[in-house]
């Protein structure tokens, strides 16, 4: 059975609370453990309970989310949620995992959660860094766990990207640039304005094309030098 990661929502707006409750319920590895309306209530909650991830609004009554986070000696992983993007820099200086600007989509929520899960699933100190082995994506109104080792290539299709794997493909409402930020740079390469490939899945390169599985993927002129540098050619 997969580990469920307990989440605390610290948010004073009922509508925003309900959005986060819904998104957490839709994720197969997350569990809603508590909801607090302000920072003092959250402090009391954390004194009695544990949470792996805290979704923390910045503009809270009585005490701001940033001041609340600064007050914690051993804080959980924090994903800030706010309608004020100007606070993003200060949030990241506090080692926040991500910063979601309201209103945010489930796809954007997933990106923040993927970052948090990568941190939670890392080995302890001294064991060395281990890259993420999977990501979660939303397709066909479901959330899928996709093993990175199964991905062959990713293709841009207007407002969507097609993630092609050894098991099939998924149509995701996202951009290549955004998705590439979630993937390990050493494993996945941008080879064209419309394509990302898994470097380990290259069969051969001929001319301006790279064979991945049974598909010939074009190599864009502006990406050719980087591709051949990676291959030490």
Distance CA(131)–CA(69), nearest Å, equals: 27
pLDDT in tens, 7-50: 999 999 999 999 999 999 999 999 999 999 999 999 999 999 99
Burial of 204 (0-12, 13-18, 19+ CB in 10 A): exposed
Is there a contact between 96 and 80 (Cβ–Cβ < 8 Å)?
yes
Measured distance CA(149)–CA(151) in Å, rounded: 6
pLDDT confidence tier of residue 154, bands split at 50, 70 and 90 = very high
Report the CATH number of the 5-120 domain: 3.40.50.2300
Q: CA distances (Å), 111 to each of 69, 173, 199, 217, 230, in order?
A: 21, 12, 23, 27, 27
Provide the residue ranges of all domains of the chain, joining segments of one domain with +.
5-120, 137-230
- Reduce the DSSP state of residue 4 to 3 states and report it: coil
- Domain 5-120 and domain 137-230, same fold? Reply is no
Domain 137-230: which topology?
Answer: OB fold (Dihydrolipoamide Acetyltransferase, E2P) (2.40.50)
pLDDT of residue 52: 94
Q: For 51-71, write each residue's pLDDT tens digit.
A: 999 999 998 988 888 889 988
pLDDT at residue 88 greater than cutoff 70: no
Residues 6+ apart with CB under 8 A from 109: 23, 100
Query: Rounded to two decimals, what is the model's pTM?
Result: 0.76
Percent of the chain with pLDDT over 90: 57
Q: State the greatest distance between any 2 C-alpha atoms of the chain, in Å, as a whole number.
A: 64
Structure tokens at 71: 């007050």
78 has pLDDT over 60: yes
**92 vs 122 pLDDT, higher one:** 122
């Amino acid at each position: 059975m997969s580990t469920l990661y307990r989440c605390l929502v610290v948010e004073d707006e009922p509508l925003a609370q309900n959005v986060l409750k819904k998104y957490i319920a839709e994720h197969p590895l997350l569990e809603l453990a508590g909801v607090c309306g302000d920072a003092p209530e959250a402090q009391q909650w954390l004194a009695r309970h544990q949470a792996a991830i805290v979704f923390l609004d910045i503009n809270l009554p009585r005490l701001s989310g940033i001041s609340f986070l600064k007050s914690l000696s051993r804080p959980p992983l924090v994903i800030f949620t706010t309608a004020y993007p100007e606070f993003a820099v200060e949030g990241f200086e506090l080692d926040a995992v991500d910063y979601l600007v309201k209103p945010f989509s489930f796809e954007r929520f997933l990106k923040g959660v993927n970052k948090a899960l990568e941190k939670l699933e890392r080995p302890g100190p001294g064991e060395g860094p281990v890259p993420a082995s999977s990501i979660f994506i939303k397709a066909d109104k479901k959330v899928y766990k996709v093993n990175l080792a199964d991905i062959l290539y990713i293709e841009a299709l207007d407002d969507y990207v097609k993630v092609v794997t050894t098991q099939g493909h998924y149509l995701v409402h996202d951009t290549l640039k955004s998705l590439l930020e979630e993937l390990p740079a050493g494993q996945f390469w941008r080879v064209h304005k419309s394509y990302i490939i898994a470097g380990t899945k290259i069969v051969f390169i001929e001319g301006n094309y790279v064979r991945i599985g049974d598909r010939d993927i074009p190599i864009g002129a502006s990406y050719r030098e980087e591709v051949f540098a990676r291959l030490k050619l």
